A and B are shown apart, each in its own frame.
Chain A
Amino acid sequence: MLSLLSPVETPFHRLPAGTKLLALCLFTALLVVIRAPLPLLLPLGLVAALYLWGGGWRFARHGLRLMRPILPFVVLVAAWHFYSGNPRLGAAIALRLVTGVAAANLFTMTTRLSDIVAVIERLAAPLARFGLPPRALGLAVALVIRFIPVMAERVARLTEAWRARSARRAGWHIVLPATLGALDDAEQVAEALRARGDVR
């Protein structure tokens, strides 16, 4: 579950992550440069077409669902600018937001995390001279992903234990034991890494 990757297969899934990332960066840069609202309809249409062509209605619906959180904000911003007498600016910003987020989500939905991490590792390789060990990055990412479910489980157990003894909401009371658990886990992970001996 811990992934936004779309189960619906599209041709984009097969493209290399680096290429997609570059395309996304160029596309977003283009969005920023276009000022007027009407020309912005073209990139929006392009993105919508890519969604539909890539995975049909099912894929497009997933995309729309991923967009839901920002829609209230887009409406709010557009309304704000309309009321302050700037309808063109409002429309341009709304279009840019929707198009930008949709394009970014298209990348997120069609690229496996491991592929993205591989690209990041390659990009970060020149930083090795500044003291960033190349292997450490991939390892750190793997650790975070591996431990998120562990911590979720711990928080669930702490909440249960709290609810067994109090009618109040658990809320912030669990942060201390959860953090203590995280720190203790970190010490154990450090031991394990030392034992493996290949962090550098």
Chain B
Amino acid sequence: MERKLAYVALFAALIAILTIVPAVTLPIGVPITAQSLGIMLAGAVLGARLGFLAVALYVALGLLGLPIFSGGTGGFGVLAGPTGGFIIGFPVAAFVTGLVVEKLRAPVGVATFVGSILGGIVVLYILGIAGLVVNAGMETKVATVAMLPFVPGDLVKAVLAAFLAQGLAKARPQGLLSRA
């Protein structure tokens, strides 16, 4: 119980840091924040249930007023903005990623890659685009097209998450709660 609590809380803090530390800029000029990388890792390392809790804790604290969303924003106001759907989607994305890593019979790296794509991209974008449709009154098609430029960056992040999960499995096998 204590271990789960500590892991959940500290991973939430880690995601906060990965979000507010300045972004990396891809050679083609698209900025990447490590935020969705943190979400994917939360699911991959902690598994479905704890990953969900860690990310939900992060989202809850951001909504309650800590400036830990991208750009150092926070508060309930972000739910009305362009990232509203994504913010709601983060915990779900972590859950799906974690579920794949837990259940898929494959090396951790492969499972993380698949899980990150299913959770961190497919599920997350569905919810994020839904949020755009609701908040901005855009049609689904338009919102989807608007989000497409971000997909390559997130694919890179899925690959990164896979490598990181593999490295973590070697360095701290008992720390990988999803494959305990």
Q: Does any Cβ of B come within 8 Å of A30's Cβ? A: no
Cβ of B77 and Cβ of A101 under 8 Å apart?
yes
Residues of A within 8 A of B16 (CB): 144, 148, 151
Most buried by B among A89, A93, A200: A93
- Interface residue total, chain B, C-beta cutoff 8 A: 54
Question: How many Å lie between the Cα of A199 and that of B2 in the bound state?
Answer: 7
Say how far B32's CB is from chain A's closest CB, in angstroms.
Answer: 8
What secondary structure prevails in chain B residues at the interface with A?
helix
Mark the stretch among B3-11, B89-97, B108-116, B117-125 that contacts chain A: B3-11
User: Which residue of chain A lies nearest to B41 when distances are taken between CB atoms in the complex?
Assistant: A179
Cβ of B14 and Cβ of A172 under 8 Å apart?
no
A: contact size bracket = 35 or more
Cβ of B65 and Cβ of A187 under 8 Å apart?
no
Q: Which residue in B64, B135, B138 is a CB contact (below 8 Å) of A113?
A: B64
Q: Which residue in A97, A101, A183 is a CB contact (below 8 Å) of B172?
A: A183
Residues of B within 8 A of A93 (CB): 135-137
Residues of A within 8 A of B13 (CB): 143-144, 147-148, 150-151, 182
Question: How many Å lie between the Cα of A86 and that of B122 in the bound state?
Answer: 31
Q: Does any Cβ of A come within 8 Å of B39's Cβ? A: no
Q: Does any Cβ of B come within 8 Å of A108's Cβ? A: yes
Q: Does any Cβ of A come within 8 Å of B57's Cβ? A: yes
What secondary structure prevails in chain A residues at the interface with B?
helix
Question: How many Å lie between the Cα of A2 and that of B3 in the bound state?
Answer: 26
Cβ of A193 and Cβ of B6 under 8 Å apart?
yes
Q: Which residue in B34, B61, B76, B135 is a CB contact (below 8 Å) of A144?
A: B61
Mark the stretch among A7-15, A54-62, A133-141 that contacts chain B: A133-141
Question: How many Å lie between the Cα of A178 and that of B11 in the bound state?
Answer: 11
Cβ of B68 and Cβ of A148 under 8 Å apart?
yes
Q: Which residue in A4, A66, A178, A194 is a CB contact (below 8 Å) of B14?
A: A178
Say how far A178's CB is from chain B's closest CB, in angstroms.
Answer: 7
Cβ of A120 and Cβ of B160 under 8 Å apart?
no
Residues of A within 8 A of B11 (CB): 182, 186
Cβ of A101 and Cβ of B81 under 8 Å apart?
yes
Question: How many Å lie between the Cα of A146 and that of B4 in the bound state?
Answer: 17
Which residues A1-40 have CB closer than 8 A to chain B? 2-5, 24
Question: How many Å lie between the Cα of A67 and that of B73 in the bound state?
Answer: 9
User: 12 A-B Cβ contacts within 8 A?
Assistant: A2-B66, A24-B76, A66-B75, A80-B142, A100-B77, A104-B80, A116-B64, A120-B64, A148-B17, A178-B17, A186-B7, A187-B6
* Apart from A73-B136, A171-B24: 9 A-B pairs, beta carbons within 8 A: A5-B65, A70-B77, A113-B65, A143-B6, A152-B21, A155-B17, A179-B168, A180-B172, A186-B9
Residues of B within 8 A of A (CB): 1-3, 5-14, 16-18, 21, 24, 34, 37, 41, 45, 57-58, 60-61, 64-68, 71, 73-82, 135-138, 142, 160, 164, 167-168, 171-172, 175
